[in-house]
Chain A
Amino acid sequence: MGLSVLDELPVAERDGLPEADHRLAPTSMDEAARLLDHASELGAQVLVWGGGTHQGMGYRVGPDIVLSCENLTSIVAYEPDDLTVVVEAGVGISVLEALLAEHDQTALLSEVPGIATVGGAIAAGVSGWRRSRFGPTRDRVLQATLVTGDGRVVTGGGRVVKNVTGYDLPRLATGSFGSLGLVAQVCLKLWPLPSTFRTVMVESPEAALDIAFRPMAILETGDGAWCYLGGTSQEVGEQSTALGEHFVDELEWPEPVSADVVVSIRVPPSELRSVLDGLGAGRPYVAQFGVGETTVGLDIGDIDLLPDLRTEVEDLGGALVVTEAPAELYEEFDPWGTPPQTLEIQQRLIARFDPRRVINPGRLPGRI
C-alpha cells in the first residue's frame, strides 16, 4: 500500500498559515487534484491560501488541510504583443506587475498588493483602484483552470482577448472563494501603461468626475482627494491644468486602510457621498468615486454602528462586507449580510463542482 497523498506532497512553509492537521503545498495542478480528490474521499475541509491578504472575507473555515499556493508560481506564458499573460495562482501580484512593467504593461490588479497573489485576488474577486477607467478584475480574466473539489481539472474561456466560446467560467470563478474549485491558473488580459502619469490633488472628487474624461481613478481619504491621470502627455497636461495646481508626475496611491475592523461598502456611485457623510469624521477610509466603493476602518468598539449602516446600504441595492476583523467579530456580525436571492441556484452550481463541499465550505454568503 502506497503512502497517502497527504504524506507525499511538500509541506507548506509560508509564514502566517493557520493551524491545521496538514499544511501542504502542491507543486502542480495534478498534485492539487490528487490532494482534493483525497480530501473529498476523507470528507476533509480544505482552506486554500495564497498570500493571506483576503482571508478576512467571508465566514470562517476550520480547516483540516491548508492548501498553500506557494509552489504554484509559474509564469506559464507571457506574450506582450498579444497583451495576455498566463500565470499560476501563487504568483505574487507585485512579481507579476514588475515583469509586466518591463514591457510597459499592467494587469491592473491591486496597486498596493503587499504579498497578495494573483489567485487570491481572483478567488476573492477584488479589483484595483484603476477599475474606474478599466473595469473590474473579472473583465480581464480570459481563461481559468480550476481544480474542482472532487479533483477534476477543468478549463473555461481561452487565451485570446475576445471570446464567447461556451459559458463564462472565468468570470464565474472570479469572486467564487474556491467554491467551484481552486483557481489554479488564469490567463489575464493586459493593458499598455500610458506614457505619462499624474496625480492631481482636487478639492471635490465630484467636480473632478465632471472635469476629467474617464480618469484612471478618483480617490478620497481623510487627508484629501486625488484624481489619477494617465495617457499622452498632451492629454494629461490639459486635464491636469483643468483639475488643480498641485500634482506629482507619478501615481501616488494611498495606503490601504488598516484598522481592527475593515469593511468594504458598495453602493450605486451617486450614493457614495451620503454614505461617507453618515460615517462621520475620524475614521480612516479610501473611497472610490465613480465606482461606488469605500473601505472604512473601525475600532472594535465602533462596530455597533455597522448593523444600521448595513441596512441603509442594502436598501440602496449595495452591500457592506467585512474584509478584515478579529476572529470573534464573525460570531457577532455577519461578514456578508443578506444573502442573494439566487442561493438555490448557487448551491446547485457548487454541488456540481465540489459535491462533498471540500474547499472553503460555508465561506460564501448564505453559508454555502
Chain B
Amino acid sequence: MSSALAGELRSILGDDGVLDRQLELHVYGKDSGITRGEPSVVAFPESTEDVVAVVKAAKRHGVSVVARGSGTGLAGGAVPLEPSLILALTRMNEIEVVDVENRSAWVGPGVINLDLSNHTYSDGLHFAPDPSSQSVCTIGGNIANNAGGLHCLSEGNTVNHVLALEVVTADGDVIELGGPAPDPIGLDLRAVMVGSEGTLGIVTRALIKLTPNPTAARTLLMSFRSVEDAAKTVSDVIAAGVIPAALEMMDRLMTVAVERFIDAGFPTDAEAVLLAEVSGHEAAVEAEAEIIRAIADDNNAIEARVASDAKERQRMWLGRKSAFGAIAQMNPDYYLHDTVVPRTKLVEMMRNIYEIAERHQITMLNVFHAGDGNLHPLMSFDASEEGVIERVKAAADELLAICVALGGSLSGEHGIGLEKRDSMGLVFNEYDLDAQARISEAFDPDGSMNPNKVLPSGSRCFDFGRPIPEGTWV
C-alpha cells in the first residue's frame, strides 16, 4: 500500500521530496521524547498546494497524517502510531512578509523560532515565545504545542502571539482562521487550532504577532539556603506587583551539574538559585530590579546581585539554557517532565518531588519556570540499568498525580501527545473528555490527522446529552 503512496507522492513532490527507505524512515519514527513508531513514508511539501495534494493522497490510501517540524517535541506528539505519513514541514521555512507598522509577520510553519526574532531584530521586534530549543524548533511546532519558554511569564504561551492561521483540513480544504484585525467575528477557531498537536489540521502559514524589543533589561542572580526561601521570594515579587519577564529556579543538584558543564558563575553551595529578568523601559528595570533584590534580601538570600554588564547577563542565561546539556553529561538518558501547579503550591510540590526521587532512587534535578508554577523535574538515569525504566515511569506517574492533587495540570508547555494522553482522566471527567473529543470530531470526523494523540481512546464512546436530531445539517 505504502509503496503505491510513495510513488504518488513522488509524482507530486519529486524524488527529493519523499523518503521511504527503512533506515530513513527509522529516523522519523520519534521526536525528542522517549516513545517510537515507524512511519510508512515521509513527505517534504514546499507549499500549501503540496500539502493539499499530500493530504488528499494519504486519504485515498487510508493512511493517517502526522505533521512534524524539527522533532524537538518531548511528549511524543510527532510519533507515528499506525500506518502514517510523516508530513515534515521544515522546507516551508519562508518569512514571507514582515509588517513593521502592524507588528506582525506571515511565516511558513518550518521557520525556526529564533530565525524570526533575528530577522525582525533590526525592526525592534521579536517573537515572544522562547522555548529552550528556540534555535532549532519550528514555529509550526510551537503553534502545534502552544509552546512557552522563559519569557511566557509576562508574555504568555504561543497562542497569545498568533493572529491568523492558514490550515489544510483533513479533507484537503484550505481555510483561514483569525485575521489581521482584532476580534475576528464568529467562533475563535484559531485559538483551538493552536495547541491541537496536529490533530485538527495542518498549519501551512501563520500570521505571527511580534512584540517590541525591550529597550532595557536587568538580570538578577539570587541564591538561597532553602527552596522555601527561594519560593517565598517568587511569591513576594509577584505580590509586590512586579511581573518579571522571566523568573527561573534551579535547585542545588542542577546548579552543580551546570557548573561542572560550563562556568556560569552559579553558587554551588546554595540549595536554590533564582534567575530573574526584568525588561522594558530603562527607568522601570532599574526600579524593579531593586525591588526584587530587596525582597530576596528579606528572604535571607545568601547573595542577590544584578548582572553588571551584558557579558555577565549572557553568562547567567547561558547557564540556565545549558541545563539540558549538563544533564546529558551525567548519564546516558534523561526524562524531562513538565507539570504545572498553582504558584502557592511550589514548595509543597518540591518537597514531594524530593520524596519521590528518594523513594524510587532516581537522580532528579530541577530547573523550572518558578514564576508561573511550571515545573520541570528532570530524571537522569542509565536505561541499561535493570528496572530503572520502571522506576522512572512510576515516579513520573506519581509526580503527575500529586501535581493534580495540588490543583495543578498535566502540562504547562510541552503538550500531551502520547506521553500524557492516558493521564488526561486525572484532570478531566468523562463529560469533559467527551467534549474534547467532540471538538476533534468537528474538524476531523474520520480521525485521520495525528490519530490517537492528546485524548485517551474511548473519550467519545459515551453518548452524553441529546442526540443530534435527524436531518440536522452537521
Contact = CB atoms under 8 A, between A and B. Distances in A.
Interface string B391-417: 000000000000000011111111110
A239 B186 contact: no
Contact of B465 (A152, A194, A233, A318): A152
Nearest to B465: A150
Nearest to A290: B103
A162 B374 contact: yes
Contact of B283 (A158, A214, A234, A351): A234
Contacts of B415: 164
Interface stretch (B60-68, B153-161, B267-275, B381-389): B153-161
Nearest to A348: B442
Contacts of A214: 212, 280
A169 B439 CA distance: 9
Given A153-B431, A267-B181, A352 B442 contact: yes
A255 B429 CA distance: 44
A121 B369 CA distance: 31
A193 B241 contact: yes
Contacts of A232: 283-284, 287-288, 291
Contacts of B466: 37, 40-41, 150-151, 355-356
A88 interface: no
A81 B102 CA distance: 35
Interface string B173-189: 00111011111111111
Interface string A158-174: 11111111111101101
Given A165-B424, A319-B185, A172 B410 contact: no
Nearest to B145: A164
Contact of A156 (B286, B435, B443): B435
Interface string A224-264: 00000001111101110000000000000000000000001
A339 B187 CA distance: 11
A365 interface: yes
A165 B411 contact: yes
B345 to A, nearest CB: 8
B187 A293 contact: no
Contacts of A167: 192, 195-196, 436, 439-440, 454
A191 interface: yes
Nearest to B192: A172
B148 interface: yes
B436 A168 contact: no
B16 interface: no
Contact of B241 (A139, A168, A192): A192
Interface stretch (B24-32, B43-51, B335-343): B335-343
Interface centre among A80, A161, A337 (most CB of B within 10 A): A161
B319 interface: no
Interface string A325-354: 000000000001101111101111111110
Contact of A337 (B179, B185, B440): B185
Nearest to A266: B181
Contact of B340 (A146, A162, A166, A235): A162
Contact of A162 (B152, B196, B474): B152
A44 to B, nearest CB: 13
Contacts of A125: 183, 188
Contacts of B372: 160-162
Majority secondary structure, B binding face = loop
Contacts of A235: 280-281, 283-284, 287
B215 interface: yes
A174 B160 CA distance: 14
Given A171-B159, A352-B442, A82 B344 contact: yes
Interface string A187-229: 0000111110000000000000000011000000000000000
Given A167-B440, A176-B187, A319-B181, A234 B284 contact: yes
A366 B186 contact: yes
Contacts, number: 292
Contacts of B160: 135, 139
B427 interface: yes
A247 to B, nearest CB: 16
B101 A319 contact: no
Contact of B101 (A171, A172, A270): A270
Contacts of A353: 435, 438
B242 interface: yes
Contacts of B374: 162
Contacts of A346: 186-187, 189
Contacts of A164: 145-146, 148, 157, 195, 411-416
B469 A355 contact: yes
A172 B188 contact: yes
A60 interface: no
B153 to A, nearest CB: 8
B187 A364 contact: yes
A345 to B, nearest CB: 6
B281 A238 contact: yes
Contact of A175 (B183, B414, B441, B468): B183
A269 interface: yes
A179 B340 contact: no
B373 interface: yes
Interface in B319-337: none
Nearest to A153: B431
Interface string B424-454: 1001110110111011111101000000001
B458 interface: no
Contacts of B473: 347
Given A156-B432, A349-B442, A342 B192 contact: no
A21 interface: no
B93 to A, nearest CB: 24
A268 interface: yes
Given A104-B241, A269-B101, A321-B185, A148 B465 contact: yes
B300 interface: no
A291 interface: yes
29 contacts: A37-B466, A79-B342, A81-B238, A136-B183, A138-B188, A139-B159, A146-B435, A151-B466, A160-B373, A161-B343, A161-B372, A163-B340, A163-B411, A167-B454, A172-B188, A268-B99, A268-B102, A291-B182, A317-B181, A336-B186, A339-B185, A340-B186, A348-B445, A349-B438, A349-B442, A351-B474, A355-B468, A355-B469, A365-B186
Given A150-B466, A174-B191, 20 more contacts: A81-B239, A127-B183, A139-B160, A152-B434, A152-B435, A162-B374, A165-B416, A172-B439, A193-B241, A195-B241, A269-B101, A292-B182, A293-B181, A316-B180, A319-B183, A339-B185, A345-B443, A347-B473, A355-B466, A366-B186
Interface of A: 37, 40-41, 79-84, 104, 125, 127, 131, 135-136, 138-139, 146, 148, 150-156, 158-169, 171-172, 174-176, 179-180, 191-195, 213-214, 231-235, 237-239, 264, 266-270, 291-293, 316-319, 321, 336-337, 339-343, 345-353, 355-356, 364-366
